[in-house]
Structure 1
């Protein structure tokens, strides 16, 4: 059976095109999805049809495609089924279009202008500053390229094959569909892709919410765990510190890190030494390092490699609070 091969560099775009073509020609021809890396000499047979995602692929793929095979260069168009949020906007909006390349941003802006002519569009050039007079940012499935600080963002889903490409494909497939039926299937394919994109985004959003809730739960569990320390635990911590003979110094160190935690900072040893010196306590680097190693071993501080600094742990914060409330000889 004659096959329709779609060749693309990117797997994500390949999936979009193949899913669209299945919706349109799924009952008329067998489809094959091939990334450029997967292309071999024995994949494409005589008389098969080939769709290339970009014209620049013609040269590199030519040795793998028999001379008898027609080659179609895919053209992309905005998925109208995914643009209902644009339809709801008041006329005269200033819209910045962000895509993976400047060329694609220009193409998308032109497509949008041809549909929603009521607005003004600017294709974003990453080499220039972000325009200041923008009402909305629109992106075709490239939301990760949009800075988080912008709230007015509309994701119109990745672009799909345009109708001209579908017409050209129908000619080589020798489709028995009339143009009206073909157009109806084209619209159906856009709707199917828009729904699939929305479902995937909703699923991803739910996953993020679950991850955030799980993270909050772990934080709350950790806080609850160290909300108060038993007398035996307090005594054990004090004994371990006193084995090395520097309880008061350790309390001073913990107090410095408590200050940092309150200011949402992490202090390196140099800054801790300065803070302690202001309190009348002087350490060498080696002395401070030794004390921090003991405090970390007990779990009162969390040390990070590199420039991450050291932070007071929840356990350390609770220990310091309880010790300050009650004299050590009462434990």
Structure 2
């Protein structure tokens, strides 16, 4: 098949939970060409699902939050490196094109969240919104599930951390400002590169770099603490941009910055390899070998503590550059802590008079 424009993955990998697999044969492609028909519509479809809970307990020791919540499964942004691709296999789909084109949404997410936060045994804890797929991906503009969940959090005065790479978050500036005034929110904006060309190739359906930088500026100007995530850093693609990127976002008001080194776990190794050979044929081997250099000779390292930082000379160079860039441009600043003391599951605290 020819290069599929507007998508990250260029194929559907086999779902590891299935015995059989779907293969597009050459004779079928030849037939479609002869009949001037498309072998693949490349359209995005949306499917409502009905979960019983919205909060997911995070047990990984190297993740800095206790719970995550994801109103969407799958992500139309199509970032080729996304670690969440593998989770789509649990829904019966491929981690490849299916992850970008079959989006599952949880219309009842706000109701589930309120029910959980009001439950008798719930105490305020660190929640990441989202920990898997972007809560401001394109369909959010229509469904507004994320906004409804923010309204619940504000009503109950429960703190939350957010991460996104979409400028759509500015739609909810009214809610975020109220939450920030109570120290109930901080936001991470993912910016992988300052190059629009690199962004277009790596993250085909995401907000432009210009708009993401504007988002950092607007949020900061409105008193909302902003962290920037340069995630992931991919050797031979964007690792040369560390100092320029840290300098730029510090000038726009970001309070802190973090990074991860790319790791291609599960089916993502095959998806990324296929993509890089089509996108960067002249340096595909260099990119893949430098990624392997960061993970002890493989494309992935699943060990807690080292999986997102890597090992070896290239990983050490990345970490050293970041440490120095933070010191020069951000003076090792950190996000302010969230306020857990205001949480009020009864909304008014009036019931407390009768206890």
- Scaled by the length of structure 2, the TM-score of the pair is 0.22
Which of these two proteins has the greater Rg computed from alpha carbons? 1
User: Which structure has greater helix proportion?
Assistant: 1
TM-score, normalised by the number of residues in structure 1: 0.23
